[in-house]
C-alpha cells in the first residue's frame, strides 16, 4: 500500500543504509552470542532434539522422543538442527543454540525488510528493521528464546508468502508456493500454533475472492476451486516438512488434534505479574497481553500506532483509491496482527513471561508502526494545514529522539535489554518488580562467572551453591570447586535473578551481582556465616 513516496532521498541511498544496518547486525550477533545464559527450558529442549535425532539414526526404532515429558507436543525443527550440528562446532552447545537462534532472528529481520518493501519500498524496509531492533522483546530475546523466535520467524515468512498469494491470485509464482509450504511447515514443525498461518491463508483467499466478485463480478466457486489446486503443492510441502520436524504429529491420525487441545487448556502451578498484580497463569485478565505490549513496545512504535487516526483524517481518500492488490497486502498484515489479539480476548489462554508466547506479533507490529510513522509524515506533507513543514519537522524530531533514547537504554542494559520497559511503565527501577523482568535468568551466567572468580579457601568438599533456577542452567558455568544443591538451607552461596523477588528467598551477604541502570538483575550471596533460622528459605513477596 505505497502511499509514501520519497522526495528527499534516493532508493539507492536507502539500500546502502540497509547494507550498513545488516553489517552492524552481523557484527553484533558475532560479538555477543556468548554473553547469554541458559534459558529455563533449554536443557529439556536440547534433550528432546537429541532424542529426535536418535529416532532418525536408529532407523525409526528409538521411540524415546515420543514419551519425553510433554515435549512431544512440540515440533523439533530448531532442536534437531542444534543437536545435529553440535558435534561439528567446537564450542559449548548452549552457545551453539544461542547463535542458531540469533540466525533465526536475523532471518526475521530479513522477513520484515521484504514485507515492508511490499508496502512502502526501501525506506519503509529500513525503518521497519530499525523498529524491530528497538523492540527489545525481539532483539533482546533472539539469542535465548530458542522456540519463540524461530516460530515467529516462520510465521512471518508464512504471512509474507500469503501476502504474495493474495496479491497475485491470477498468477501466483512457484517461489511463493514453495516459500509458503516451507514457512507453514516450519511453523507447525515448532508449535501447533502454526495452524494460525493456515487460518490466515484461508480467510484472506476467501476475502479476496469475495471482494473481486463484489466489484468485478468474477465467479466465486470456480476461483476458490482453482486456488485450492494452486495451493495444493504448498499444503503437501508443509505437511511433509512438518512431519520431518515433528514426527509424533503424524504417527497417529488424531495427534495434531490432541496437541491443539493440550495447548488450549495448558495450565500448571505458576504465577506471573502485570502492573504489580500477581496472577496464576490460568487466571490472567484478557488485558494481560495488551498491558505488556503497552510497556514493552518502543515508544516510537506506540506513537506511530497512535498516529493512525491522523492518517485516516488526512488521506482516507488515498486509502480507498489504492489498488486492490496493494490493499490486500495491508489486509494480510492486519489479519496477522488482529486475529491473535481477538483469539486472546476470546479464548483467554494461560499466559506468562509477558509477550513471549506472542513473539510472532512483534515483527508485524514493527512493520505497521513504521508504516504509520512514515505515512503520517507524508500525510502532513500533502495536507493543507498551515505550517505543515513545521509539523513534519516536529513529528520527525520526536520520532528520532524517542528512537535515540530507546537505543541508549539498549546499550546500557546490554546484554539483558529484554528487561527494558518503556516510559509508560514509569521509572525503570520502581517499575522493575511490577512486571516480569529477567524471567529466563540470563544474567545468572555473569553472576556465576563472578562466583568462580572469587578466591576461596581450599577444602576437601565442594562449596554448595543454591540457585533460583534449574540446575542445568547454572552448572555449566561453575568450576570444580562448586556443586549445585537442592538443599538450599545447606548452601554456602546463593545465586538468583531478581525476577518475581526470588532473590529475597534466601538470606546472605551480598558479594556480587549484575546491575544495569540502577537495577539489580542478579545477585550473589555468601551464606557461610549464617546460623540457625537465618539459613532457612522464606517465601518471596509474590
**CB-facing half-sphere around the CA of 152: CA atoms within 13 A:** 35
Instruction: Look at the block and give the residue holding cell 503437501.
Output: 236
| Residues 403-432, mean pLDDT to the nearest whole number | 96
DSSP 74-120: S--HHHHHHHHHGGGSSS-HHHHHHHHHHHHHHHHHHHHHHHHHHHH
Looking at residue 309, what is its pLDDT?
73
Looking at residue 5, what is its pLDDT?
45
* 8 Å CB contact between 205 and 165: yes
Give tens-digit pLDDT for 167-197: 999 899 999 999 999 999 999 999 999 999 9
Distance in angstroms (rounded) separating the CA atoms of residues 262 and 399: 43
Considering the chain, what is the average pLDDT of its residues? 93
Pull the grid cell for residue 430: 520502581
- Report the 3 state secondary structure along 21-58: HHHHHHHHHHHHHHHCCCCCCHHHHHHHHHHHHHHHHC
Is the predicted pLDDT of residue 109 greater than 50, yes or no? yes
Distance in angstroms (rounded) separating the CA atoms of residues 473 and 469: 7
Looking at residue 318, what is its pLDDT?
52
Instruction: Look at the block and give the residue holding cell 537429541.
Output: 50
Looking at residue 11, what is its pLDDT?
82
Q: Which of 313, 348, 266 is nearest to 74 (CA)?
A: 266
pTM for this one? 0.95
Give tens-digit pLDDT for 433-459: 999 999 999 999 999 999 999 999 999
Q: Which of 15, 282, 51 is nearest to 129 (CA)?
A: 15
Looking at residue 4, what is its pLDDT?
43
* pLDDT > 90 fraction of the chain, expressed in percent and rounded: 85
Question: 3-state class of 542 per DSSP?
Answer: coil
Distance in angstroms (rounded) separating the CA atoms of residues 491 and 510: 14
- Residue 316 pLDDT class (50, 70, 90 cuts): low
Q: Looking at beta carbons, which pairs linking 504-509 to residues 24 or more positions away fall under 8 Å?
A: 504/538, 504/540, 504/541, 505/468, 505/537, 505/538, 505/539, 505/540, 506/466, 506/537, 506/538, 507/534, 507/535, 507/538
Question: 3-state class of 507 per DSSP?
Answer: coil
Number of CB atoms found within 10 A of residue 103's CB: 17
- Residue 379 pLDDT class (50, 70, 90 cuts): confident
Give tens-digit pLDDT for 43-97: 999 999 999 999 999 999 999 999 999 999 999 999 999 999 999 999 999 999 9
Distance in angstroms (rounded) separating the CA atoms of residues 493 and 500: 20
Find all residues with CB under 8 Å of 173, minimum gap 6, and list them: 164
- Residue 245 pLDDT class (50, 70, 90 cuts): very high
Q: Which of 90, 77, 210 is nearest to 152 (CA)?
A: 77
Q: Which of 292, 350, 278, 290 is nearest to 501 (CA)?
A: 278
- Residue 249 pLDDT class (50, 70, 90 cuts): very high
Distance in angstroms (rounded) separating the CA atoms of residues 271 and 305: 31
Looking at residue 3, what is its pLDDT?
47
Distance in angstroms (rounded) separating the CA atoms of residues 210 and 217: 9
- Residue 220 pLDDT class (50, 70, 90 cuts): very high
Kindly give the pairing relationship between strand 493-497 and strand 509-516: unpaired
Looking at residue 362, what is its pLDDT?
99
Instruction: Look at the block and give the residue holding cell 521411540.
Output: 63
- Residue 323 pLDDT class (50, 70, 90 cuts): low
* pLDDT > 70 fraction of the chain, expressed in percent and rounded: 94
Helix axes 77-85, 148-167, angle to 10 degrees: 120
Amino acid at each position: 500500500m505505497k502511499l509514501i513516496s520519497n522526495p528527499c532521498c534516493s532508493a539507492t541511498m536507502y539500500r546502502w543504509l540497509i547494507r550498513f544496518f545488516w553489517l552492524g547486525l552481523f557484527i553484533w550477533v558475532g560479538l555477543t552470542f556468548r554473553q547469554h545464559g541458559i534459558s529455563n527450558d533449554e536443557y529439556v529442549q536440547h534433550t528432546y532434539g537429541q532424542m529426535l535425532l536418535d529416532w532418525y539414526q536408529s532407523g525409526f526404532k528409538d521411540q524415546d522422543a515420543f514419551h519425553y515429558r510433554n515435549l512431544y507436543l512440540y515440533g523439533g525443527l530448531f532442536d534437531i538442527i542444534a543437536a545435529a550440528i553440535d558435534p561439528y562446532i567446537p564450542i559449548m552447545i548452549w552457545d551453539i543454540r544461542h547463535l542458531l537462534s540469533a540466525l533465526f532472528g536475523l532471518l526475521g529481520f530479513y522477513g520484515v525488510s521484504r514485507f515492508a518493501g511490499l508496502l512502502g519500498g526501501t525506506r519503509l524496509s529500513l525503518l521497519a528493521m530499525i523498529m524491530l531492533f528497538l523492540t527489545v522483546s525481539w532483539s533482546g530475546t533472539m539469542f535465548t528464546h530458542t522456540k519463540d523466535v524461530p516460530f515467529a520467524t516462520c510465521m512471518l515468512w508464512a504471512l509474507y508468502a500469503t501476502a504474495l498469494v493474495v496479491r497475485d491470485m491470477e498468477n501466483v509464482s512457484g517461489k511463493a508456493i514453495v516459500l509458503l509450504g516451507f514457512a507453514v511447515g516450519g511453523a507447525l514443525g515448532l508449535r501447533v500454533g502454526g495452524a494460525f498461518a493456515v487460518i490466515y491463508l484461508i480467510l484472506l483467499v476467501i476475502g479476496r475472492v469475495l471482494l473481486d466478485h463484489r466489484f468485478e463480478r468474477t465467479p466465486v466457486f470456480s476461483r476458490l476451486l482453482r486456488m485450492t489446486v494452486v495451493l495444493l503443492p504448498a499444503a503437501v510441502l508443509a505437511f511433509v516438512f512438518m512431519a520431518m520436524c515433528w514426527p509424533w504429529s503424524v504417527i497417529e491420525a488424531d495427534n495434531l488434534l490432541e496437541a491443539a487441545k493440550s495447548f488450549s487448556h495448558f495450565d500448571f502451578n505458576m504465577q506471573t505479574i502485570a502492573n504489580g498484580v500477581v496472577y496464576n497463569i490460568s487466571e490472567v485478565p484478557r488485558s494481560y497481553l495488551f498491558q505488556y505490549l503497552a510497556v514493552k513496545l518502543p515508544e516510537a512504535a506506540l506513537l506511530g500506532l497512535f498516529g493512525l487516526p491522523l492518517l485516516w483524517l488526512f488521506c482516507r481518500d488515498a486509502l480507498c483509491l489504492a489498488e486492490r492488490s496493494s490493499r490486500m497486502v495491508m489486509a494480510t498484515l492486519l489479519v496477522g496482527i488482529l486475529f491473535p489479539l481477538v483469539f486472546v480476548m476470546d479464548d483467554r489462554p494461560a499466559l506468562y513471561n509477558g509477550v513471549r508466547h506472542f513473539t510472532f506479533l512483534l515483527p508485524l507490529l514493527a512493520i505497521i508502526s513504521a508504516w504509520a510513522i512514515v505515512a503520517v509524515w507524508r500525510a502532513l506533507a500533502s495536507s493543507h494545514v498551515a505550517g505543515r513543514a513545521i509539523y513534519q519537522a516536529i513529528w520527525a524530531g520526536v520520532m528520532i529522539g524517542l528512537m535515540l533514547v530507546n537505543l541508549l537504554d539498549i546499550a546500557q542494559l546490554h546484554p539483558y535489554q529484554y528487561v527494558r520497559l518503556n516510559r509508560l511503565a514509569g521509572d525503570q527501577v520502581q517499575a522493575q518488580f511490577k512486571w516480569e523482568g529477567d524471567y529466563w535468568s540470563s544474567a545468572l551466567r555473569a553472576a556465576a562467572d563472578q562466583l568462580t572468580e572469587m578466591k576461596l579457601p581450599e577444602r576437601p568438599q565442594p562449596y554448595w551453591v543454591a540457585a533460583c533456577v534449574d540446575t542445568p542452567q547454572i552448572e555449566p558455568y561453575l568450576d570444580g570447586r562448586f556443586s549445585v544443591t537442592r538443599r538450599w538451607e545447606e548452601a554456602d552461596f546463593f545465586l538468583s535473578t531478581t525476577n518475581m523477588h526470588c532473590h529475597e528467598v534466601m538470606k546472605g551477604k551480598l558479594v556480587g551481582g549484575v546491575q544495569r541502570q540502577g537495577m539489580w538483575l542478579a545477585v550473589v550471596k555468601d551464606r557461610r556465616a549464617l546460623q540457625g533460622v537465618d539459613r532457612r528459605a522464606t517465601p518471596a513477596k509474590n
